[in-house]
């Protein structure tokens, strides 16, 4: 059956790979990004998120699934507040805004992109994730802006998966499955940007991998396609770590950070 999906960050990286995979499987995909997309919108602002939701609504009479892939890294000298706005609010606000379209289908699926940095990057501030989870963007931006952007990245990604965990049961009652994936190092433009970082670049390839290589975008896209499809119909409120074994190597006794309700 041909289905209609929306993908934020669909112009590059994992979002582009997911779009290609879903289209190859015969589905219709509406992309959302700042450039080169069906819906052009800047998810760093409330107005941009509203434009994204409205744009998808104008193009889609029905929506079977949504992939919230858009995100930015926290590089040296970066803006932690911007990282929080894009990575968390740019995902959650679009997902919430499109909830009526998804609920109308009665059998929809949402996948948001977290990160294995939640488990594998030491020392990030849990209090920033908690500030983000208040849902008050001004409070979140103030907390995130007070720390290094590289530490806000895992905090924002933790907040995303905790939001999924918290809301998945109620959304499932409306026929919408919420899940997250947590990729490790994947060969995308974001990885290239981080490798070029004057302070952090040397650490990008330092994390171990059981497979001895970075991931490929299409490998993550395959996992997303599975979570969107019927074969994952019993999967609700979970986070699938897809990182070539990095988390298992660094945390052999179990994840270092547990999901919070």
14-25 pLDDT, tens digit per residue, is: 999 999 999 999
120-166 tens-digit pLDDT? 988 999 999 999 999 999 999 999 999 999 999 999 999 999 999 99
pLDDT value at position 261?
Answer: 42
* Average pLDDT score over residue span 88-113: 97
> Positive or negative, the Cα torsion across 240, 241, 244, 248?
negative
Please report which confidence band the pLDDT of residue 233 belongs to, taking 50, 70 and 90 as the band edges.
Answer: very high
Distance of alpha carbon 220 from the chain centroid:
12
pLDDT value at position 260?
Answer: 52
Distance from C-alpha of 107 to C-alpha of 155, rounded to nearest angstrom = 31
Catalytic residues: 153
Distance from C-alpha of 180 to C-alpha of 170, rounded to nearest angstrom = 16
Q: What angle do CA 235, 236, 239 make, to 5 degrees?
A: 85
Reduced to 3 states (helix: H, G, I; strand: E, B; else coil), residue 61 is: coil
Residue 242, φ and ψ in degrees, nearest 5: -130, 85
Reduced to 3 states (helix: H, G, I; strand: E, B; else coil), residue 76 is: coil
pLDDT value at position 257?
Answer: 61
* Average pLDDT score over residue span 226-243: 97
Contact, 197 vs 125, CB < 8 A? no
Tokens 């991931």 -> residue: 215
* Average pLDDT score over residue span 185-189: 87
- Domains, the chain, in order of start with CATH, read 4-250 (3.40.50.720)
* Average pLDDT score over residue span 37-47: 98
* Average pLDDT score over residue span 167-177: 98
103-131 tens-digit pLDDT? 999 999 999 999 999 999 889 999 999 99
61 torsion bin: left (phi>0), alpha (psi -120 to 50), beta (else): alpha
What's 64's DSSP letter? -
């Amino acid at each position: 059956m041909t289905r209609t999906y929306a993908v934020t960050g669909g112009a590059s990286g994992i979002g582009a790979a997911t779009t290609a995979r879903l289209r190859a499987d015969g589905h219709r995909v509406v992309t959302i990004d700042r450039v080169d997309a069906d819906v052009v919108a800047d998810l760093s602002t409330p107005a941009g998120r509203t434009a994204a939701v409205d744009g998808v609504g104008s193009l889609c009479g029905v929506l079977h699934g949504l992939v919230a892939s858009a995100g930015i890294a926290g590089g040296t000298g970066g803006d932690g507040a911007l990282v929080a706005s894009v990575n968390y609010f740019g995902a959650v606000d679009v997902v919430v805004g499109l909830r009526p379209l998804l609920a109308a289908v009665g059998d929809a699926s949402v996948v948001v992109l977290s990160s294995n940095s939640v488990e594998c990057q030491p020392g990030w501030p849990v209090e920033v994730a908690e500030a983000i989870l208040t849902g008050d963007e001004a409070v979140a931006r103030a907390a995130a802006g007070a720390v290094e952007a590289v530490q806000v990245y895992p905090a924002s990604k933790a907040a995303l998966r905790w939001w999924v965990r918290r809301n998945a049961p109620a959304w499932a009652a409306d026929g919408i499955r919420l899940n997250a994936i947590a990729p490790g190092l994947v060969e995308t433009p974001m990885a290239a940007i981080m490798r070029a970082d004057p302070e952090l670049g040397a650490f990008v390839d330092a994390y171990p991998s059981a497979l001895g290589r970075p991931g490929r975008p299409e490998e993550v896209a395959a996992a997303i396609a599975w979570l969107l499809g019927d074969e994952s119909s019993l999967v609700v409120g979970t986070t699938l770590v897809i990182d070539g074994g990095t988390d298992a190597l660094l945390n052999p006794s179990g994840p270092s950070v547990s999901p919070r309700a």
